């Protein structure tokens, strides 16, 4: 039995509240060492025995501070493949 989701937002309802570094790496596309460093800065790390878990709600709130406004595209986009001919 498998699930077929189109995007991360489709999985938000079934997503775990706590993930380990490997799961966080797969979800956020950030290396394990970088995600642990950021999670520590966010205060989202919970130690359970030898395992470090990341609270995704706290971590995502921390990630929001890095959000950048979108940059509008130029009016005319040059097709570089046509320039080489």
User: Whole-model pTM?
Assistant: 0.66
Tokens of 22: 């490997």
Q: Residue 1 domain-assigned?
A: no
Task: Enumerate long-range contacts of 38-47, CB under 8 Å, 24 or more apart.
Answer: 38/62, 38/63, 46/18
Q: Is residue 51 part of a domain?
A: yes
| pLDDT, tens digit (0-9, with 9 covering 90-100), for 18-45 | 999 999 999 999 999 999 999 999 999 9
47 pairs with which residues across the strands? Answer: 52
Which segment, 9-18, 22-31, 68-77, is predicted with the most confidence on average?
22-31
Give the CA distances from residue 73 to residues 25, 45, 81, in Å, rounded to whole numbers and listed in that order.
Answer: 30, 38, 19
Q: Is 3 among the domain residues?
A: no
Q: Domain range spanning residue 58?
A: 10-83
Q: What is the DSSP letter of 84?
A: T
Range list of H helices, the chain: 21-28, 32-42, 56-63, 80-83
Residue 76: which CATH number? 1.10.10
Question: Which pLDDT band holds residue 74 (cuts at 50, 70, 90)?
Answer: confident
């Amino acid at each position: 039995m498998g699930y077929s989701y189109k995007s991360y937002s489709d999985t938000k309802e079934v997503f775990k509240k706590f993930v380990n570094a490997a799961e966080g790496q797969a979800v956020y596309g950030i290396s394990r060492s970088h995600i642990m460093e950021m999670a520590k800065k966010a205060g989202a790390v919970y130690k359970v025995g030898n395992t470090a878990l990341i609270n995704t709600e706290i971590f995502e709130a921390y990630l929001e501070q890095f959000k950048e406004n979108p940059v509008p595209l130029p009016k005319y986009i040059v097709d570089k493949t046509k320039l080489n001919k």
